[in-house]
């Protein structure tokens, strides 16, 4: 008869079976109350979403999955990355669920957990990173730099060709800078951002 190895949980440790649910975690990652628990699965959000047909899960499906604790599936979905932040769903949601802010929170979680790398939209965070990098270093965005950094590294094929042709057109029309602009208070800005990073929370 095989011996079963039963270990008892020491009583001074938190019970590992009572962990914070994924739902609570998502709710906490949004400032204020995102009203996610009020979702009644009506589907208005998905039906209103411009990228709905191209999403792997509609916002409604995603919210049901969050409720079911399907952490990895949710964080690997392309849905948050295909959200273009148009607020159509939020304007129409009968329960005033703060859908767009939840999508942002899911993007952050997907990066944090490393799951965005397994998403079909794995490139998307890199665009945000390239963009933010210039903002953190100069205080201003810099289109040419972002396009160069993102497309040269990520898409050395068709997309680069298109980005290049657009870039040349933009220059010709005087609509693109060759060098980034730096604000005077860039040190002050960086101190503020560093402090914000230390504080971390989302309230």
Q: Give the closest residue to 66 by CA, choosing from 51, 77, 55.
A: 77
Of the residues 26, 27, 66, 124, which one makes contact with another protein according to CB under 8 A: 124
Q: Give the closest residue to 41 by CA, choosing from 59, 24, 54, 23.
A: 59
193 binds ligand SF4 (CB under 6 A): no
Q: Give the closest residue to 85 by CA, choosing from 56, 105, 65, 114.
A: 105
Contact 106, 57 (CB under 8 A): no
Say how far apart CA 66 and CA 97 lie, in whole Å: 14
143 binds another protein (CB under 8 A): yes
Beta-carbon contacts of residue 65 (< 8 Å; ≥ 6 apart): 57, 73, 74, 77
* Binding residues among 27-56 for ligand SF4 as defined by CB under 6 A: 39-45, 48-51
Question: Closer CB to ligand SF4, residue 62 or residue 142?
Answer: 62
Site string for ligand SF4, 140-179 (x = CB under 6 A): ----------------------------------------
Q: Give the closest residue to 93 by CA, choosing from 50, 51, 39, 37.
A: 39
Question: Pick from ligand SF4, another protein, none: which does 139 bind, CB < 5 to 8 A by kind?
Answer: another protein
DSSP of 139-153 = SS--HHHHHHHHHHH
123 binds another protein (CB under 8 A): yes
Question: Pick from ligand SF4, another protein, none: which does 26 bind, CB < 5 to 8 A by kind?
Answer: none
* Binding residues among 25-44 for another protein as defined by CB under 8 A: 29, 31-32
Binding site for ligand SF4 (CB under 6 A): 39-45, 48-51, 59-60, 63, 83-89, 93-95, 97, 99-100, 103
């Amino acid at each position: 008869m095989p011996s079963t190895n039963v270990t008892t949980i020491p009583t001074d440790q938190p019970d590992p079976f009572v962990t914070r649910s994924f739902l609570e975690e998502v709710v906490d990652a949004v400032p204020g109350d995102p009203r996610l628990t009020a979702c009644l699965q009506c589907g208005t959000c998905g039906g209103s979403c411009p990228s709905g047909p191209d999403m792997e899960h509609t916002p409604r499906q995603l919210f049901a999955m969050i409720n079911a604790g399907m952490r990895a599936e949710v964080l690997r979905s392309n849905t948050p990355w295909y959200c273009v932040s148009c607020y159509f769903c939020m304007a129409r949601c009968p329960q005033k669920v703060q859908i767009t802010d939840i999508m942002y929170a899911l993007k952050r979680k997907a990066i944090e957990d490393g799951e965005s790398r397994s998403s079909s939209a794995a490139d998307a965070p890199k665009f945000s990173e390239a963009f933010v990098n210039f903002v953190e270093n100069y205080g201003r965005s810099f289109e040419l730099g972002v396009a160069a950094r993102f497309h040269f590294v990520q898409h050395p094929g068709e997309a680069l060709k298109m980005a290049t042709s657009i870039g040349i057109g933009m220059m010709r029309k005087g609509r693109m800078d060759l060098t980034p602009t730096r604000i005077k208070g860039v040190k002050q800005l960086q101190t503020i951002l560093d402090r914000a990073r230390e504080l971390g929370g989302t309230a």
